[in-house]
Structure 1
Amino acid sequence: DLFPTQTAVFGALMSSLGYDPSDISADTSSPSGIGNICAQALLNYRHTDGSNQLGDLHPGAYSDYTGYVPVNTADTLNDPNKWQPLLVNGVPQTWLLPQWGLVKPFALTSGSQFRDFILAYGPAQYPHGSYRKQAIEVLHLSARLNDTAKVIAEYWADGLGSGTPPGHWNIFAQEISRRDGHTIDDDVKMFFILGNALMDASIAVWDCKRAADSIRPVSAIRFLFGSKPIRAWAGPGMGTKLIDGEEFKSYIATPPFASYISGHSTFSASAAEVLQRFTGSDNLGTSFTALPGSSTVEPGVTPAQFVTLSWATFTEAADQAGISRRYGGIHFKADDLVGRQTGRLVADVVWTKAMSYINGTSQQK
């Protein structure tokens, strides 16, 4: 239903585990029947959750039904405070899922529940001095990129073909399950809470991104500095150089939606909070080692030597995920820090509701 092109993959996995992928039994006296009924009930519910999965709100699965049109074009910056689509291979970006803030959350009252809190801290507005200050902070990080910062930016990017930014935390959770010897009951509860926290975080983030519709660093820096010289990363394999402001580029690809707040920061802080509460500890204890030359941005060049990223705690990993977007040149400091705060707020609401189901104290029918 969610991934129709992957039916064969899921079928093969089910068969390898000893299950019949063609079993569509609705017999509530059997485990498979209960599973099928529960899955179908959830799918039916989510078909009308505002995501437009079926294309019934606007033609095309998950297509925008809100009528979003950017204030700026790829060629013209009409408002330096608003998001500007970039040209990618000669084609202007299209905002990804502009309707996502309207999706029905699991625990939040709506995607806008924390909007007032978030917008109280940003985004910085031109011509206020904070607008220029945040751009200079991005330039300072760009000019000082070393192999470790580049590995951090790429490791957490989680682009196409990966587990995705929120899915990254499901991978960590799998490690925790193995580490702590979880039973299936433990995993059902942990992934139930974690998955809903990540979903509600995504809805809160997209609501704010649409409300703020804020400019990305690459557009702001090009606007502010134009033909003036800046010191920044000059491109793959070129290191740090003096370049014209209008030539600034982010180390990792700038995504097709507004900057404020950071999804990575919000997802990661929310997930870290859930996993801390579930395990009763902030201990994570895992690592990743990048091989020399394994960069996809600077292949064969970066890193020059082995670089190991290690995280003793969930908090440390979440904070690094947040700052990775600043190393990548695609987020301002406020995007990251307010995103982290928002993620923890979302996690608290989700945890409370999820535990009411688990403990049998929920009053919801």
Structure 2
Amino acid sequence: MRFLPTLFLILLCFPAAAQRSTGGTGGVPSTELFHRAQKNLTRTIVHDIFSPPVASRVYVYANVAAYEVLVRNHKQYKSLYGQIPGVPDLARIPTPGQINYPLAALYALFQTGGKMVFSEPLLQDSAAVILQEMHETDPAVYQNSLRFGQAVSDSILRWAAQDHYPETRRRRRYTYSKAPGKWVPTPPGYFDAVEPYWNQIRPMVMDSAQQFKPAPPPAFSTNKESEFMKQAYEVYDRTRQMPPEHTLIASYWDCNPFYLNTQGHLNFATKKLSPGGHWMSIAGQAAATANLDWPATAGAYLLTSIALFDGFISCWDEKYRSQLIRPETVINTYIDEKWRPLLQTPPFPEYTSGHSVISTASATVLADYFGKDFTFIDNTEVEYGLPERRFTSFRQACDEAAISRLYGGIHYRAAIEEGQIQGEKVGQLVLDKIRLRP
């Protein structure tokens, strides 16, 4: 007999806890539970300190699983089968009787995400609470839904296992170039390069990691009249006397999963969500503001996660091709050895700006989904001590996220501007390749 997952057994043993309401199989639960599930997935990713590219991988497969469950019950939506190479034909999975599809979708999301994080028990604890709040009063339907969600998750996980991620875990440590102008680790942690082989991961919609190779960055030069040094001096000059609003913007979009605090000989980390986690949060807030139903909400999360996933692959491909030196190293070496950036420099090469790429890719798909002039209030950073911010469009938000890297002192202007061009191409490709409705 096949071994049933721990969470599956917990939920089957306590079905009475799900019978406090009259929702039953005939009612449709609030999508608020879907949003809570996404937030709990993000909290687990934050807890496990996944890098931004790895976090995007967790998001995309978990949301593919949830979406594919829901489209089985909504014929006005299309499966990803035939749209993304390799996606399994989940229509072949038989339904074991009557299904509560939102319940099955949440279970598929939790089971898929759970297998991709380190702290699976942490995610299972929150999953048990949320799934019981679905208020499914028929025990047979409850069990059928979990079984179906598990079957979809198993199929998606088998597909995910073939994306070359395991192979990148076994690659040799990255060897730094000693050529002038190439990236080297930066203070205070001097961490090793993050995900130098991420361009080997299988994309969702791009034909290869090189599909949107950006124009090369300005050539490294120590000549003050060179374009490179002009951009270095721009970072230096802008960050020395910034208005409070620019400081707030830099902090708001920091999204550093692992900020290293140093106090004398004491070092400790502060955890935050990744840039991708911030945009998944924006997608959820937009869906809630628009009062979307379950499949439409799943579609918003899905398209955003695909844009993030391919955006990171495209960006990381360029980062380790150009291997460009960070502003902190250049300014400390050639301009002012005492200067420090407002934000902590991330441990990977400078060009292009990851936040610029993935923010613009996400904004591109969300603007198409909700409208170019969709107004929303973003409260993502409130739990990290920062105020809400109001945006009149997704483009305004992504432009602010991009320029925040200059304000923070961690990117030159070329990386920001070329990163946005790169991200828009990724986002537009997602829209060209994926059709959620026939």
Report the TM-score, using the length of structure 2 for normalisation: 0.64
- 1:68 aligns to what SS in structure 2? coil
Superposition deviation, residue 314 in structure 1: 0.6
Which structure carries more helix by proportion? Answer: 2
- String of CA shifts for 1:79-104, please: whole Å, max 9, x gaps: 33210112425xx3200111111110
Pairwise CA RMSD of aligned residues? 2.6
- What is the rounded CA distance, in whole Å, between the counterparts of 2:144 and 2:239 in structure 1? 58
- What is the rounded CA distance, in whole Å, between the counterparts of 1:344 and 1:312 in structure 2? 19
8 A contact 1:50–1:100 mirrored in 2? no
Identity of aligned residues (%): 26
Q: Give every structure 1 segment of 4 or more consecutive aligned residues whose post-TM-superposition deviation is greater than 6 Å.
A: none
List runs of 5+ in structure 2 lacking aligned partners. 1-114, 135-140, 258-270
Query: In the TM superposition, what are the counterparts of 1:322-337 in structure 2 within 5 Å?
Result: 322-337=402-417
Q: Give the corresponding residue for 2:375.
A: 284
Q: Give the corresponding residue for 1:144.
A: 241
- String of CA shifts for 1:175-217, please: whole Å, max 9, x gaps: 1111111100101222111111110000000000011111000
Q: Cα distance 1:10–1:158, how it changes in 2: closer, same or farther (>3 A)?
A: farther
Q: Give the corresponding residue for 1:122.
A: 217
8 A contact 1:218–1:330 mirrored in 2? yes
8 A contact 1:50–1:103 mirrored in 2? yes
Q: Cα distance 1:148–1:290, how it changes in 2: closer, same or farther (>3 A)?
A: farther
8 A contact 1:132–1:224 mirrored in 2? no
8 A contact 2:200–2:209 mirrored in 1? yes
- 2:400 aligns to what SS in structure 1? helix
Q: Cα distance 1:126–1:145, how it changes in 2: closer, same or farther (>3 A)?
A: same
8 A contact 1:173–1:275 mirrored in 2? yes
- String of CA shifts for 1:309-333, please: whole Å, max 9, x gaps: 4321111110000011111100000
Superposition deviation, residue 42 in structure 1: 1.8
- What is the rounded CA distance, in whole Å, between the counterparts of 2:130 and 2:380 in structure 1? 30
Q: Cα distance 1:64–1:158, how it changes in 2: closer, same or farther (>3 A)?
A: farther
Q: Give the corresponding residue for 1:100.
A: 198
- 2:132 aligns to what SS in structure 1? coil
Write the letter of the residue equivalent to 1:345: K
- What is the rounded CA distance, in whole Å, between the counterparts of 2:437 and 2:285 in structure 1? 25
- 1:283 aligns to what SS in structure 2? coil
Structure 2 residue aligned with 1:32, among 146, 156, 163? 146
Superposition deviation, residue 38 in structure 1: 2.0
Q: Does 1:320 align with 2:397?
A: no
- String of CA shifts for 1:5-54, please: whole Å, max 9, x gaps: 1423333333333179xxxxxx9x943333222222222222231222xx
Report the TM-score, using the length of structure 1 for normalisation: 0.76
- String of CA shifts for 1:233-262, please: whole Å, max 9, x gaps: xxxxxxxxxxxx112211110000000000
- What is the rounded CA distance, in whole Å, between the counterparts of 2:126 and 2:337 in structure 1? 50
Q: Does 1:175 align with 2:285?
A: yes
Q: Give the corresponding residue for 2:366.
A: 275
- What is the rounded CA distance, in whole Å, between the counterparts of 1:341 and 1:101 in structure 2? 19
Q: Does 1:8 align with 2:122?
A: yes
Write the letter of the residue equivalent to 1:202: F
Write the letter of the residue equivalent to 2:175: V
Q: Give the corresponding residue for 2:418.
A: 338
Report how many aligned residue pairs link the two structures: 301
Write the letter of the residue equivalent to 2:348: F
8 A contact 1:289–1:309 mirrored in 2? no
8 A contact 1:270–1:344 mirrored in 2? yes
- String of CA shifts for 1:273-305, please: whole Å, max 9, x gaps: 1011011333133155999xx68xxxxxxxxxx
- 1:310 aligns to what SS in structure 2? strand
Query: In the TM superposition, what are the counterparts of 1:37-76 in structure 2 within 5 Å?
Result: 37-52=151-166, 57=167, 63=169, 65=171, 67-72=173-178
Q: Cα distance 1:184–1:207, how it changes in 2: closer, same or farther (>3 A)?
A: same
Q: Give the corresponding residue for 2:185.
A: 85
Which structure carries more strand by proportion? Answer: 1
- 2:434 aligns to what SS in structure 1? helix
Write the letter of the residue equivalent to 2:315: V
Superposition deviation, residue 121 in structure 1: 4.3
Structure 1 residue aligned with 2:434, among 354, 360, 365? 354
Structure 2 residue aligned with 1:135, among 208, 232, 235? 232
Write the letter of the residue equivalent to 1:193: L
